[in-house]
Structure 1
């Protein structure tokens, strides 16, 4: 892939998150992939796991929006810093823990790194700033 194609793939994936469209994001993944997230004990390897993960975020923050603040791309990978906003009006699941809605808003940050092969995502690493988010929700501080 060219750098521009990697940027387009990233644009499509970020739009899928902002539109709360799990199918659009899943269309970018290879048949075999691994997604590592700081909030999960094990990597996700199936489309159903990713769908549940995304729907968990969209349930916890139905008005969630994401915005890229920085990006570095090459011909097979991309790294992004982002900002996400939303109001926690639904239960939030993190790993095997669930917490009730706080009805508080967040303006938090995170990063992700993606590696592709043959134009599809084979590796995804997401690093939401969980401490920042939980502090804003009043859960820790």
Structure 2
């Protein structure tokens, strides 16, 4: 893929997140892919699992907005940094545990990396700032 095509793929993914549209996001994935998140013990391997992952974020932060801060495009991969804002008005699932809504607004960051095969995302790695998010929500001791 050209740099422009990779950038367009990334922009489609960002738009799907910002518009709360899991179907548009999972359509970007190859049939055989891995999706990992440092806050989860195991990788996701089905589009239904990725949909559920996204829906859990949208449940916790129904007003979530996401913005691309930085992007690096390689030959067959993209790395990016995002900022998201939202108000925690729904339950948040963290490490397999469900936390009740705090009602607090947050501004958090994260990074991601994905590689592409045949025009589709073959692997995706998400690295949200879980500690910073938990601190803003008052869920860390002493926060």
Same fold (TM over 0.5): yes
Whole-Å separation in 1 of the counterparts to 2:52 and 2:129: 20
Q: Could you list the runs of 4 or more consecutive aligned residues of structure 1 that deviate by over 3 angstroms after TM superposition? A: none
Corresponding residue of 1:27: 27
CA shift for structure 1 position 59: 0.1
Q: Secondary structure at the match of 1:53?
A: helix
Aligned to 1:139: 139
d(CA) in 2 for partners of 1:51, 1:82: 19
Mapping for residues 67-86 of structure 1, pairs under 5 Å = 67-86=67-86
User: Which residue of structure 1 aligns with residue 89 of structure 2?
Assistant: 89
Distance 2:111 2:7 in 1: 15
Q: TM-score, normalised by structure 2?
A: 0.97
CA deviation profile, 1:38-89 (whole Å, cap 9, x unmatched): 1110000001110110000000000000001100002210000110000000
SS of residue matched to 1:13: helix
Distance in 2, matches of 1:9 and 1:17, equals 13
Query: Which residue number in structure 2 is paired with residue 98 of structure 1?
Result: 98
In structure 2, what is the equivalent of residue 51 of structure 1?
51
Q: State the SS of the aligned residue for 1:54.
A: helix
Structure 1 stretches of 5 or more lacking a match?
none
> C-alpha root-mean-square deviation of aligned residues, in Å?
0.6
Q: Which residue is equivalent to 2:17?
A: 17
Secondary structure of the structure 2 residue equivalent to 1:138: coil
Q: How many residues align?
A: 141
Query: What TM-score do the two structures reach when normalised by structure 1?
Result: 0.98
Gaps of 5+ in 2: none
Structure 1 stretch displaced more, 88-97 or 16-25:
88-97
